[in-house]
Amino acid sequence: MNDRGAGGFPPPPPGLVRGRVVAAYGRRFTVGTADGTRIDCVTRGKRGGVACGDWVDLASTGDGGVIEQVLPRSSLLYRADSSQEKLIAANVTQVLVMVAVWPGWDEDLIARCLVAAEHAGVRARLLLNKADMADRRAGARQALGVFEGAYPITELSVLNGPHLLRPLLQDEVSVLVGPSGVGKSSLVNALTGAQAATGEVSKALDSGRHTTTHARFYPLDERSALIDSPGMQVFGMHAIAPERLAEQFPEFRQALGQCRFRDCRHLHEPDCAVVQAADNGTFDPRRLGHYRGILAGLGQRR
C-alpha cells in the first residue's frame, strides 16, 4: 500500500490535517484540504514563513486552524529588501512574468523578476498581453527583445485568446508575476472562471491599480494550477549574494569563469569575458546594464 499522503509526503502526524495554502493574507492563510474543505488559519505564535502553494500540517481549532509545520518545498519564489523577505509562492514549476502592450513597464522590474526565478531554480516565460492592440504591439515586442533568446515570449490577448496559453500551463504549477494593470487577474478569470478582482488602468499615470491584494492558488486540473500574485512596482534582490548574481543571468553563463580575474564583477575589469560577449553581440548589452544596476543596489560598486 502507498503510505504517501497529499503532496507526496508521508501522512501527517496524529491529530493534524494535511492541506495546501490556497491564499495568503499577510499572517493569515486559507488552507485547502483533500476533501475540498477550506480552513482559515494562522501560524503558531509569531512564526511566519508560509507562502501560497505551501503544503502544511495544521491543528483544527473548531472555527479555524493553526499551521504547525510547513513541509519541505521544491521551490520558493520571493523578493527581499534590506530588512525583510516577501514570500510570493512555493512549490511552483514555472514563473510567468506578465507585461502588456499598454501600460508600459519598467524593464528593470522585469529583469529582477527573471533573476528571482533563476535564483529559485524555476523556469520562466514572458507573457505579452493585449497583443491585439496592433498599433502598440510592434514597439512592445521590440522592447521585450532584450530578453529574447534567454526566455520564451508568448503573445496573447486576455479578451480573445487566453485558451492559447492552456498547453503551456498543463502539468505545471505556474505563478503569475509582474506590474499592476497588465491583466493578470483578468487572465486568471478567463482560465478558471473565478471572479478575481480587476481594475482599470490610469491613463494619467500609465499604470494599473492594485486589484489583487494577496496571492491565491487556482487549480486548473488534477496536475495543473495557477497562482495569481499582487502587482508589484519594486522587486528587492537583497537575498542574492553579490558574487552569485551573474549566475542568475542565462546569457552570461557561457562566459563565466573565462575572465582574467576569478573575482571579476564584470564592471570595469580588464579582459572580462562577459563584457566581451556583450560587445561581440552574443547577447543584448542592455542585459549587462540590468546586472550592473542590480549589483549597484547591493552596494557592490568599484
Mind listing the pLDDT tens digit for each residue in 103-117?
Answer: 788 999 999 999 999
Give me the mean pLDDT over the 230-259 stretch.
91
With vertex at residue 54, the alpha carbon angle to CA 178 and CA 240, rounded to the nearest 5 degrees, is 55
Same domain, yes or no: 34 and 59: yes
C-alpha cell at 202: 490610469
Give the 3-state DSSP-derived string for 80-138, with helices as H, strands as E and coil as C: ECCCCEEEEEECCCEEEEEEECCCCCCHHHHHHHHHHHHHHCCEEEEEEECCCCHHHHH
Is 106 within 8 Å of 133 (Cβ atoms)?
Answer: no
In a domain, residue 180? The reply is yes
Summarize pLDDT for 256-277 with one digit per residue, the tens. Answer: 999 999 999 999 999 999 999 9
Q: pLDDT class for 230, splitting at 50, 70, 90?
A: confident
- Cell numbers 549566475 correspond to 247
3-state secondary structure of 3: coil
Does 224 reside within a domain? yes
The pLDDT of residue 81 is 79
- Pair 86, 219 in one domain: yes
Quote the mean pLDDT of the chain. Answer: 87
Longest dimension (CA), the chain: 66
Indicate the range of 44-53, 69-78, 137-146, 177-186 predicted with least confidence: 44-53
- Strands 17-25 and 215-221: what pairing? antiparallel
- pLDDT of 15 reads 94
CA separation for the pair 229, 177 (Å, rounded): 6
Cell of 183: 491583466
pLDDT value for 207: 36
Evaluate whether residue 75 is within a structural domain. no
Domain stops at, among 38, 70, 102: 70
Pair (155, 254) in one structural domain: no
Is the per-residue pLDDT at 205 higher than 70? no
Q: Is the pLDDT of residue 203 over 80?
A: no
Examine the domain organization and report whether 181 and 125 are in the same domain.
Answer: yes
Whether residue 178 sits in one domain with residue 119: yes
Q: Are residues 24 and 106 in the same domain?
A: no
Whether residue 233 lies inside any domain: the answer is no
Range of the domain at 174: 80-228
Answer yes or no: is 266 within a domain. yes
Q: Write the pLDDT tens digit of every residue in 119-162.
A: 999 999 999 999 999 899 999 999 999 999 999 999 999 877 77
Full-model pTM = 0.88
Of the candidate ranges 152-156, 176-180, 229-233, the one whose mean pLDDT is the lowest = 229-233
Instruction: Give the pLDDT score at 158.
Output: 84
Structural domains of the chain, count? 3
Residue bearing the bigger pLDDT, 8 or 179: 179
Label residue 100 by pLDDT band (50, 70, 90): very high
pLDDT at 82: 66
Q: pLDDT at position 46, please? A: 66
- Where among 41, 70, 99 does a domain terminate? 70
